[in-house]
Each structure stands twice: as structure tokens, then as C-alpha cells.
Chains A and B, each alone.
Chain A
């Protein structure tokens, strides 16, 4: 949007545009100041669009080729800024891949105040507990590990020790000087990390099936077999043909 286009707008229209652009301008500003603020905001916004110009990208991003067109006419929409948190005590976990999960949490202001008020509180931590495979009781506690966090942390990526297991995460407050006692503030949903090897409990595969799996282009997937100590591979990994996209 050029200055002359803005010049053609009334002061009232300029204020409306500024509002739509997300600017919170004080009333009574002179026209040039309003125009300058709008141009600055639009220029900032267009910068990141222009950054993309000339970059190579994945094919599935190319359908959005318009991104490579810098322009000032951006939509600021009807939405306004969103809250960063919801002032509640909660924790949620999402499996990302066989090795990592994403957890985000919050402690309400009142809970945090009461924690700070307790002389015995010695900080927050996450307890990541394996709860066995699907179908087994969730309370059959197996292995766990703790991750200390601070009051200002709201999320973490958690490295999982094993794939193909269910786990959950407790947000806990440790009680100082009480022999490791703690209080669970919130418990996450159960999460299952995906397998990255063939199911060991599958019926024995025929030699034809192994050949079909190889023809399917997944030669380098390991076969989980804990009795052997290490994963087996269908075929030597040297035969793998990595593609540009995951299969």
C-alpha cells in the first residue's frame, strides 16, 4: 500500500485501518503520524514474506507460491492477540516421534502462590513414567525418570528412552526436607510413542513376505527382537534407498 493511497483516506478511515492492522493508537493523533504508524506496521509484516523470495522449498510448499510475493496488503483479520496461558493447573503430552514427546503445562496463579507460600516446597519437576503397553493396566508402574523445571517453564521436549511404549507425565512439586516426598499437581493424558521397528510378536513372516517388504522399499526398517539384544534388519541397511520424503 502506497502513501498516496493512505493519503486519500479520512482520519476516521485511517484509525479503522490502524485498528485492523493491530495498532492501538491513542486518539487525537495527526494524520501523518497515523499514516506513518500504519506504514511501519505493514512494512514489518511484509518483511517475513519477502524473506522467502528465492528460496527453494519442498514441493508441497510450492502450492503456496504466493508467499514469495512481497506485498503490503496483508490481512490482519478480525482476531486480536491471544493469551499466552489460561491460568490453570494442567499438563498435556503429545508424541512427536519414537524418540521425543512434547509436553506443555501451566500452574495457576493461585496454585503457584500457595506453592510459594509453602516453606516446604522445593521446586517443580516432571515425572515421566512408563505405563506399559496398551491393554495392560495403566497403574502398573514401570520405569520413570524426573526432569526438574522452573516456575517459568511452560513446555519441554522430552527424550524418551524407548519407542513403542505408553507413558504419562506428572507435573509435581517436591517437598523440601521430606525425604523425597512430592505432590502431583497435574497428570497428563497417556501417550504412546510410535514403534520404529517391525512388531516382534507378529506371526513369523514367510520368505515371500520378506521379499515383498523389501520390494515395498522399506529394507532398512529394523525388526524388534529383544531376545537378541539388538534389532535385526530385514536386509542390510546398505540396500536402503532413502527418499526425499518419508515413507
Chain B
């Protein structure tokens, strides 16, 4: 008899940063780092558990923009170039640190990691990471969800129904293209829920999503099981509820596991510690210091008090933290289970990139968690679809508007730094709907133009740029990532209104913003 269920839900997402028209584009490194530090390590964890017949089950959302980049051949080529540069630097580091008892092993560790990345990417997966995830999807180990096409924060667009449906419809089409089947679950970007979005999701034959504890508890009526069971909206969509305790144990920057002194420090990087003359070849022509990924220090303390990273001690701590996490969830399940008529469910949604990119030991933590849960029994690791098969009946309730951002509502995506977006993005959606109504049956060049217009509108809605503007980090870059698609859309709108088309410009834009090849601009037609 299971005493409770534990459902890990990871959200793998990157905004669309493909810019292959440039010889080198810095923001593409976000993507490369995520592949090297999170996606490939996660797949290694899956392989390891599969080899040992550990019955792991988890739910993974792969956002449509990330899926588009993972499937992109040009980016795959550039990722190999990135790995070659990392390997050259690793060799230089091994030579520089030869004989250093503390740091030479770390240089060898990074060399081995990047070597493994290249072998896995090139040989094992033939550059097809989506296919690698799909293997576990088809085997029932992974449940793959989709998410908003460009990670739009949907509550802000709740009065532009076509904006929301376009985000959902495009995502489903992209998911089908990548994995060959309809997704059951939809990851709400930033867990941004509002009453009414459930009806839209259900109308696309989606079965479930995840909401915050606060959103669920403020729902109508109040859920009698708190966060320990999902609720079902009138549309039939099931909203799983994030477990607050599990979230804090991992997410908290001050007290969460990743803050443990023994883990590898994220900030200290040779890119900022070593002379630029030494790094010159790596930095190529920019001359600017960059994160290289080579980090040799443990979190320990302040910058000048840090100690050398010890991977063995860190791995042991990851296993201890997994045991602690599991014990806490068992205690929680025991307390909640005594008050419920079914085993309690604890849903733990996290950004996938937390594991590996920010928290180097995160994948080891996950593997230890699965292995310990398997050997201890008591708590059953489950996917959200499997839970619904076991428990198809759930309390009726409609969660309240909520998100996982600071403040719990829309504070992060709507403040003085980023509120200007919505006048323009909203207008672009409105005009896109107008175009779709005016030109419902286009083909050839005009259809290409309209489809590109739809891509640009979706790109303008991306919530990541609003977040970065609010954080004050690279606000200029983030601003351009919104301004450009709005400007491109406006140009297309003007072209269509004046019946003049610059095919050269359009072709260039299609090559650059090449995501969602199966997009259909008609999805912006007003629903009647």
C-alpha cells in the first residue's frame, strides 16, 4: 500500500535565442549551457536508472521554443563548435593546473564532462536530444507536457482570447510534430493561471495543468484537501497543486539545498578570475570576460573565503539531501494521509535548469531521490497522468488567478519596467486577428507572410523578456527581443495593407525566426 504519491514535474524552457545569422551570438550560450549542464545530464540520470532497472517516473514539460531550438540543425552544429571550444579550454586548464592536488582533478572533471557531452550528443543521440527524451516518453518513464508557444504569461492576455488560444494551439501542434502525439498536460508559463484558462485548455483536449498552492487554496470552493489532491474545474481540466514545503526545500536561495556550502559555487568562474591574455583564445574577438563554465570553488563563504570544490563530498551531500527531502515528504504524507480518504499527493514542480546549470549536483540529487524512493517504498513516484488514472474523481473547484512569481500574481510581469509591452503586444494580437479575418484562405506568398506575422506576434508575448526587464539585467537586450517582433509584425501589417511585399526581407525574417514551421495564422481568427 502506498502511503502517498510524489510527482516531480520539471519545466525545461529557454526563450528563442537562435541567431545563426551572426558568426557568434552570446545569448545562444544560454541554450548551449542548458544542454551541457541540464538536458544531457538528466538523460544520463535516466540511462543510469534504466540500466539498474530503477522504475523512475516523472513529468517533464519541454517548451515549444526549447523544442524548436533542440531540433534546429544549425544550432546543433554550433553546439558542437561550443563543445570543441570547451574541450580546448579544458586541455589548457589541465596543462595549467598539472600537479595541483586540489584543482587538477577538477580540470580533469570538466574535461571528462565536456567529452561525455560531445560523445552523447554526437554518437549516442545523433544530435537528436528530443528523440532521446521521446525514448523515455514512449517507454512510459517520462510524461511529456507542453507549454505556451513562446512562454507568454497568460493572465495578462486573458482579455485577448485569440492570444491565449494561439499560444496553446501552436504549442500542441509543435508537440505533435516533435513527439508524434497529443500532450495530456499543459505547463502554464510561470504557473500563470486565471479562471477561464481551464476552459481553453480543455477545449484543446488537454487534461491537466499545475497551479500554485495559493491559487488552489484561494479557489472557489476552497479545496478540502489543501494541496494534497488536485481539483477539477467545471470544464473537466484537472489542476494539480504545487507542494509548498517541497518547493521551499529546493528553491530557496538562502536555505534550500543548493545553498549548502559543500556544493559547487555558481559565480566563481575562471572567466572572471584568470588574466584575459590567458583566456584570449577562448574569448575570441570580444575581449570581454565571460562565464566559461569552469568553476573550481565550493559555495563555502564570501569570495575570498571559498574553498576548493570537492566533487566526492558534494555527491555524498546530494544523497543526504535526497534522503532528507524524502523523509520530509514521508512525514508530510503521513500527517496529511491521516486526514484524507485517499493517499496524499505531493507535486513538486521546478525549472529543469535548476538541476545542473545552477545546482551542479541537482541531477545527482534527482537520481538519489528516485533510487532511495524505490528502495524505501512508502512513497510512489508518479506521473500526473498516472495519478489521474488512479484517481479520476477529484473535488470540483476553480483556482484563483495566481503565478509563482514574487507576490503570487502578475507583479513580476507587469510593472514600470515592462508594462509598455502590453500596449504593443495586445495591438499586434488584435491586428493579427484582423488580418486572419480579412485573409482567411490565402496561399503562396501571402500565406507565408501571414504565417510569419503570426510567429512575430507570438514572439512578442514571451514572458522571459519582461522578467529580465524587471530584474534590470540586460534590459536593453530584453527590450529589443520584444521590440523586434513587434516591429517586424508592424511592417508585415503595413505590407499587407498596402499590398506591397519585400520578398527578400520576408525570406530573411523566415530564416531567422524559423520556429513553428507548421504554424497556421488562421488560429488568430476570432472564435465564434
C-alpha spacing A62/B23, complex, angstroms: 25
Q: Nearest chain-B residue to A223 (Cβ)?
A: B222
Interface membership of B487, Cβ < 8 A: yes
Contact of A1 among B243, B285, B402 (CB under 8 A): B285
Q: Bin chain A's interface residue count.
A: 35 or more
- Chain A stretch 184-206: residues in CB contact (< 8 A) with chain B: 189, 191-192, 194-199, 201-203, 205-206
Chain A hits for B203, CB < 8 A: none
Chain B hits for A80, CB < 8 A: 487, 491
C-alpha spacing A97/B402, complex, angstroms: 9
Is the Cβ of A96 less than 8 Å from the Cβ of B222? no
Is the Cβ of A212 less than 8 Å from the Cβ of B339? yes
Is the Cβ of A48 less than 8 Å from the Cβ of B29? no
Is the Cβ of A69 less than 8 Å from the Cβ of B247? no
Interface membership of A31, Cβ < 8 A: no
Q: Nearest chain-A residue to B336 (Cβ)?
A: A215
- Interface segment out of the listed B91-99, B125-133, B213-221, B364-372: B213-221
Is the Cβ of B419 less than 8 Å from the Cβ of A155? yes
Interface membership of A127, Cβ < 8 A: no
How many Cβ-Cβ contacts under 8 Å join chain A to chain B? 288
Is the Cβ of A102 less than 8 Å from the Cβ of B218? no
Q: Nearest chain-A residue to B155 (Cβ)?
A: A95
Q: A57-B471, A66-B33, A68-B291 are in contact. Are A74 and B406 (CB under 8 A)?
A: no
Is the Cβ of A199 less than 8 Å from the Cβ of B414? no
Is the Cβ of A216 less than 8 Å from the Cβ of B477? no
C-alpha spacing A217/B247, complex, angstroms: 11
Interface membership of A182, Cβ < 8 A: no
Is the Cβ of A245 less than 8 Å from the Cβ of B247? yes
Interface membership of A142, Cβ < 8 A: no
Interface membership of A24, Cβ < 8 A: no
Contact of B217 among A48, A59, A221 (CB under 8 A): A221
C-alpha spacing A246/B222, complex, angstroms: 19
Is the Cβ of A45 less than 8 Å from the Cβ of B400? no
Interface membership of A49, Cβ < 8 A: yes
Interface membership of B503, Cβ < 8 A: no
Is the Cβ of B217 less than 8 Å from the Cβ of A218? yes
Is the Cβ of A104 less than 8 Å from the Cβ of B423? yes
Is the Cβ of B490 less than 8 Å from the Cβ of A83? yes
Is the Cβ of A211 less than 8 Å from the Cβ of B404? no
Is the Cβ of B218 less than 8 Å from the Cβ of A195? yes
Chain B hits for A214, CB < 8 A: 226
Contact of B286 among A1, A59, A197, A244 (CB under 8 A): A1
Chain A hits for B484, CB < 8 A: 77-79
**Contact flags B245-274 to A (C-beta < 8 A → 1, else 0):** 101100111101010000000110001100
Q: Nearest chain-A residue to B242 (Cβ)?
A: A247
Chain B hits for A181, CB < 8 A: none
Is the Cβ of B508 less than 8 Å from the Cβ of A94? no
Greatest chain B CB density within 10 A among A5, A52, A58, A194 is at A194
Interface membership of B228, Cβ < 8 A: yes
Interface membership of B290, Cβ < 8 A: yes
- Whole-angstrom distance from the CB of A90 to the nearest CB of chain B? 9
**Contact flags B178-208 to A (C-beta < 8 A → 1, else 0):** 0000000000000000010000000000000
- Whole-angstrom distance from the CB of A65 to the nearest CB of chain B? 5
Contact of A96 among B227, B287, B336, B410 (CB under 8 A): B410
Chain B hits for A198, CB < 8 A: 217-218, 222
C-alpha spacing A46/B477, complex, angstroms: 9
Chain A hits for B509, CB < 8 A: 78
Q: A61-B467, A75-B480 are in contact. Are A208 and B291 (CB under 8 A)?
A: no
Interface membership of A63, Cβ < 8 A: yes
C-alpha spacing A205/B288, complex, angstroms: 60
Chain B hits for A68, CB < 8 A: 291, 473
Q: A63-B358, A71-B288, A155-B419 are in contact. Are A244 and B424 (CB under 8 A)?
A: no
Interface membership of A33, Cβ < 8 A: no
Chain A hits for B411, CB < 8 A: 96-97
Q: A52-B473, A72-B286, A243-B247 are in contact. Are A209 and B226 (CB under 8 A)?
A: yes
Measured CB to CB, the residues of A under 8 A from B are: 1-2, 5, 45-83, 85-86, 92, 94-98, 102, 104, 155, 189, 191-192, 194-199, 201-203, 205-206, 208-209, 211-218, 221, 241, 243-247
- Between A and B, 26 residue pairs with Cβ closer than 8 Å are A2-B287, A45-B477, A48-B474, A59-B251, A61-B473, A66-B26, A66-B28, A73-B22, A73-B25, A75-B19, A75-B480, A77-B512, A78-B484, A194-B402, A194-B409, A196-B218, A199-B220, A208-B340, A209-B224, A212-B339, A214-B226, A217-B244, A221-B218, A245-B248, A245-B406, A246-B408
